Amino acid sequence: MRHKDEKKNQAIFDSTIQLINEVGFSDLSMSKIAKRANLSPATIYTYYENKEDLLVKLYLDVKEKLSRSMLHGIHEELDTKEICYIFMKNSLEFMMENKDWFLFLEQFTASPFMNKLCMADTAPMFENLYRYFERGISNGSLKNAKAELIISYCYFPIVQLAKEYYEGMYTTIEKEFELIFSLSWDAISQ
Amino acid sequence: MRHKDEKKNQAIFDSTIQLINEVGFSDLSMSKIAKRANLSPATIYTYYENKEDLLVKLYLDVKEKLSRSMLHGIHEELDTKEICYIFMKNSLEFMMENKDWFLFLEQFTASPFMNKLCMADTAPMFENLYRYFERGISNGSLKNAKAELIISYCYFPIVQLAKEYYEGMYTTIEKEFELIFSLSWDAISQ
Amino acid sequence: MRHKDEKKNQAIFDSTIQLINEVGFSDLSMSKIAKRANLSPATIYTYYENKEDLLVKLYLDVKEKLSRSMLHGIHEELDTKEICYIFMKNSLEFMMENKDWFLFLEQFTASPFMNKLCMADTAPMFENLYRYFERGISNGSLKNAKAELIISYCYFPIVQLAKEYYEGMYTTIEKEFELIFSLSWDAISQ
Amino acid sequence: MRHKDEKKNQAIFDSTIQLINEVGFSDLSMSKIAKRANLSPATIYTYYENKEDLLVKLYLDVKEKLSRSMLHGIHEELDTKEICYIFMKNSLEFMMENKDWFLFLEQFTASPFMNKLCMADTAPMFENLYRYFERGISNGSLKNAKAELIISYCYFPIVQLAKEYYEGMYTTIEKEFELIFSLSWDAISQ
DNA sequence: AATGAATGAGTATTCATTCAT
DNA sequence: CATGAATGAATACTCATTCAT
């Protein structure tokens, strides 16, 4: 579905994410989205089939943005530790710069909307990431565990750090990041 | 004058949590809760002021159940590693045995409902847990980091494991747990 | 129906009238009345059959208070002009001293609740008043018109004056009253 | 895009006024209005913000109809007595021909809804009326009193007469009107 | 493509009243 | 007598969605 007016689509996108973070899924409505986007409710339906379609497409869109950011600057030549470091750094930066997007992902992920998705929808986005870590596992620089587990030791502490950042601790982020990286590396490295 | 019926309150409690896990916050409604609890919608309002009050009270109740379970069998005489192990084991067991409760916590935590709470509401529940880990930090058995960070390295991998369990991998839980414990301990121990 | 606790009945009475003046008939409810009277909703039903019964009884009660006040100090020996003067003065005083009661009467009178009443309910209260004015009509001191009309020329301007008073014009009431009396007297006297 | 349907708005208008006179403010509801107007309750909300908005707009609309009717056929060349006579006649005719409208005004005026209005909303409607009577006061044909008071001596007896008419005394209206006019004129003329 | 109007079905909540104690 | 609990029915209002233009 291609539409001339990408601005309108963007307005729907932004308004929805803002509203979800302000009022939550329980108080989100198509007319509120429309009002904030300065559109008629009917207009949203020329871009999306229905509310669920909107939310799912939004999720996939933002999730892909995240996955792309995570891998920025990573390539085959780097060693596992470097990759791990950059991956964690990228993740943190995405969360710090796109608070609304990230918190939307968190809400969506925790919700039963997730059941509407199948693995095939998101797995490809993280294929490369898994490949990098699996290489580390097989070459012995990482512990012998599932890549998913290894990655989660890198990812979740960053989520925590980002949430601290949202609550106002701006100053010590850099130092905290280095600490977290060292803990995560101790956890996963052979 | 009739007495308030604890059975009814329990029915509200159970129905709400079930529904949240089935349909999510966005499609939860007081009348659906009432219907499932075999009550009139009006009856809910003799137990809770309004929808928000119900959800917040539910959250605090379940959260306390979790916090209590986490500390089960832990006492001062145990060393830090043992405490860490039991804490992680307890957490996993709570999640495995109370899927609905735990997933409700996850959804609530990710939602803007959290803004309705202040620290004072939940902090006391985890006071002892923090104390145990702080002791480990100050006596050198744990790395020099904030207790919150240390704890998160123990807690989040368990969350991941529980979610795998929910998806049907019953057989390998024990072995996976041991693996996770070792990774977490590598992350946090001095 | 006699009840031991006249205080409770009084609390119902006062709360109802206050609420009607604050929120109007449309937002009056039995539970609001109960809450303000510090009673259980059920208690009101030991004093009154239902909401309509409560309102009607209240109206008749207050209406009788008004009718009694109007005639205070009036007797057969006074001439028509004096009676008219005292009647108007009494009416004004009642309205000034019992704003809530009076405004309740005004609301009730304008509402379809009035259809629930028959003449027989209120007519007796004003029998004497009519008799005094009818005497004036038959002895030629008043114009030859129905007593009701004559009385209304005395009563409504007082209502107007009371409403001005409610809005804050305290100083000139006395002088305004004298003016109004002279106009009314010019209207009705032969 | 459909156009707003003036017929629907009219149906809301009529249904509301009918219902208020049948059941009163206390039993008026948006769904009753909708049912009588053959509309969905939701449709009312495309024409009015909420219930209060509907009632207030209705009041202002009907009040203006009244104010316009009152002045019909009055102009500067007429003398004060003629103006007074026509004003009273017009008022009576409006009340006789528009019972529902008028009784709605009476109920609204007595209710706390009036507090939602400010003088500025209705004062302009009666500016001309006041000007005519003030002219009479300053040229000595009327007594030296506030125009508001003078007018009330003309208006309220007419209200009384209309209410008698509503109760079925059709025959003597003309004669009664002449009598009332003479009493009112005696009251207000110098 | 875009949109305000329209709506049946739903929302959270309150109602008048009765029940059980 | 008094009352908090309980409720079916109602409340004002909003929902996701479709219609007509």
Helix (H, G, I), strand (E, B) or coil at D112: helix
Question: What does the alpha-carbon distance between residue D39 and residue D44 come to, in Å, rounded to a whole number?
Answer: 8
Which residue among B26, B47, B68 closes a domain? B47
Helix (H, G, I), strand (E, B) or coil at A160: helix
CATH number at residue B104: 1.10.357.10
Is pLDDT above 80 for A169? Answer: no
Residue B42 CA and nucleotide F8 C1' are separated, in Å, by 9
Decide if B173 is inside a domain: yes
Closest CA to A110 of B88, B26, B52: B26
Is-contact D54 D141, C-beta < 8 A?
no
Is-contact C137 C144, C-beta < 8 A?
yes
Decide if D53 is inside a domain: no
Closest CA to C147 of C106, C72, C87, C99: C87
Average pLDDT of chain A to the nearest whole number? 95
Per-residue confidence (pLDDT) for residue A3, from 0 to 100: 57
Statement to judge: residues D18 and D110 lie in one domain: no
How buried is residue B23: exposed, middle or buried, by Cβ count under 10 Å (0-12/13-18/19+)? middle
Average pLDDT of chain C to the nearest whole number? 94
Which residue shows structure tokens 């707009």? D57
Chain D CB contacts of C180 below 8 Å:
149
Comparing CB atoms, the residue among D113, D153, D187 nearest residue C24 is: D113
Is-contact D145 C161, C-beta < 8 A?
no
Question: What does the alpha-carbon distance between residue A171 and residue A11 come to, in Å, rounded to a whole number?
Answer: 33
Which residue shows structure tokens 């309205």? C95
How buried is residue A13: exposed, middle or buried, by Cβ count under 10 Å (0-12/13-18/19+)? buried
Chain D CB contacts of C152 below 8 Å:
156-157, 160
A26 and B26: CB-CB below 8 Å? yes
DSSP C26: G
Per-residue confidence (pLDDT) for residue A171, from 0 to 100: 75
Statement to judge: residues C108 and C148 lie in one domain: yes
Closest CA to D70 of D133, D13, D144, D139: D133
Closest CA to A117 of A127, A128, A129, A105: A105
Measured CA to CA in angstroms, residue A17 lies from A56, A102, A109, A165, C2 at distances of 12, 10, 14, 20, 64
C152 and D157: CB-CB below 8 Å? yes
- A28 contacts chain B (CB < 8 A): yes
Closest CA to D106 of C106, C103, C55: C106
Statement to judge: residues B42 and B65 lie in one domain: no
H or E element, residue B127: helix B127-138
Is pLDDT above 50 for D24? Answer: yes
Statement to judge: residues D36 and D96 lie in one domain: no
More confident: C188 or A5:
C188
Q: pLDDT digit string (tens) for C88-112?
A: 999 999 999 999 999 999 999 999 9
Nucleotides of E under 7 A from a protein CB: 1-21
Dihedral of CA B87/B89/B93/B95: which sign?
positive
Is-contact C48 C57, C-beta < 8 A?
yes
Q: B172: pLDDT confidence band, cut at 50, 70 and 90? A: confident
Residue D42 CA and nucleotide F20 C1' are separated, in Å, by 18
Statement to judge: residues A101 and A7 lie in one domain: no
Angle at Cα D61 formed by Cα D60 and Cα D66, nearest 5°? 95
Residue D152 CA and nucleotide F5 C1' are separated, in Å, by 53
Statement to judge: residues A14 and A91 lie in one domain: no
- Best to test chain B binding among A26, A58, A165, A189 (most B CBs inside 10 Å): A26
Q: How many domains does chain D have?
A: 2
Closest CA to B153 of B106, B188, B189: B188
Measured CA to CA in angstroms, residue C109 lies from A169, C102, D111 at distances of 65, 10, 11
Residue of D nearest to C19 (CA): D112
Is pLDDT above 70 for A26? Answer: yes
Which residue shows structure tokens 């405490």? B83
Comparing CB atoms, the residue among D23, D111, D183 nearest residue C187 is: D183
Statement to judge: residues D107 and D20 lie in one domain: no
- Tell me how crowded residue B34 is: count the other CB atoms within 10 A of its CB: 19
Statement to judge: residues B111 and B180 lie in one domain: yes
Per-residue confidence (pLDDT) for residue A5, from 0 to 100: 86
Statement to judge: residues D127 and D38 lie in one domain: no
Statement to judge: residues C82 and C10 lie in one domain: no
Per-residue confidence (pLDDT) for residue C177, from 0 to 100: 96
Phi first, then psi, for residue A50 (nearest 5°) are -165, -175
- D21 contacts chain C (CB < 8 A): yes
Q: pLDDT digit string (tens) for D85-129?
A: 999 999 999 999 999 999 999 999 999 999 999 989 999 999 999
Per-residue confidence (pLDDT) for residue B150, from 0 to 100: 97
Decide if B52 is inside a domain: no
Which residue shows structure tokens 């067991």? B93
Q: Number of C-alpha atoms within 13 angstroms, CB side, residue C145? A: 25
Question: What does the alpha-carbon distance between residue D94 and residue D82 come to, in Å, rounded to a whole number?
Answer: 18
- C122 contacts chain D (CB < 8 A): no
Decide if C56 is inside a domain: no
Is pLDDT above 70 for C44? Answer: yes
Comparing CB atoms, the residue among D22, D24, D156 nearest residue C152 is: D156
- B168 contacts chain A (CB < 8 A): no
Decide if A54 is inside a domain: no
Residue C10 CA and nucleotide E16 C1' are separated, in Å, by 21
Comparing CB atoms, the residue among C112, C152, C180 nearest residue D23 is: C112
- Helix spans in C71-143 (H): 80-97, 99-110, 119-122, 127-138
Q: pLDDT digit string (tens) for B132-160?
A: 999 999 999 999 999 999 999 999 999 99
CATH number at residue D4: 1.10.10.60
Q: What is the CA radius of gyration of chain C?
A: 19
- C56 contacts chain D (CB < 8 A): no
Q: D171: pLDDT confidence band, cut at 50, 70 and 90? A: confident
Is pLDDT above 70 for C2? Answer: no
Is-contact D92 D162, C-beta < 8 A?
yes
For residue A109, how far is the Cα from the chain centroid?
Answer: 10
How buried is residue A49: exposed, middle or buried, by Cβ count under 10 Å (0-12/13-18/19+)? exposed
Statement to judge: residues A88 and A164 lie in one domain: yes
- D110 contacts chain C (CB < 8 A): yes
C153 and D152: CB-CB below 8 Å? no
Question: What does the alpha-carbon distance between residue B14 and residue B37 come to, in Å, rounded to a whole number?
Answer: 8
Q: B66: pLDDT confidence band, cut at 50, 70 and 90? A: very high
DSSP B4: P
Statement to judge: residues C42 and C117 lie in one domain: no
Helix (H, G, I), strand (E, B) or coil at A40: coil
Question: What does the alpha-carbon distance between residue A46 and residue A65 come to, in Å, rounded to a whole number?
Answer: 24
Q: pLDDT digit string (tens) for A138-160?
A: 999 999 999 999 999 999 999 99
Q: pLDDT digit string (tens) for A47-72?
A: 999 999 999 999 999 999 999 999 99
pTM: 0.93
A25 and B24: CB-CB below 8 Å? yes
Is pLDDT above 60 for D190? Answer: yes
- Closest Cα of chain A to B145: distance in Å? 8
H or E element, residue C154: helix C147-166
Decide if C134 is inside a domain: yes
- Tell me how crowded residue D92 is: count the other CB atoms within 10 A of its CB: 21
For residues C156-183, one letter each, b for 16 or more C-beta atoms within 10 angstroms of the residue's C-beta and e for the rest, the string is: bbbbbbbebbeeeeeeeeeebbebbbeb
Per-residue confidence (pLDDT) for residue D28, from 0 to 100: 97
Q: Which domain holds residue A110?
A: 59-188
Decide if C53 is inside a domain: no
Chain B CB contacts of A28 below 8 Å:
26
Per-residue confidence (pLDDT) for residue C1, from 0 to 100: 47
Q: D3: pLDDT confidence band, cut at 50, 70 and 90? A: confident
Helix (H, G, I), strand (E, B) or coil at D142: strand
Is pLDDT above 60 for A1? Answer: no
Decide if D88 is inside a domain: yes
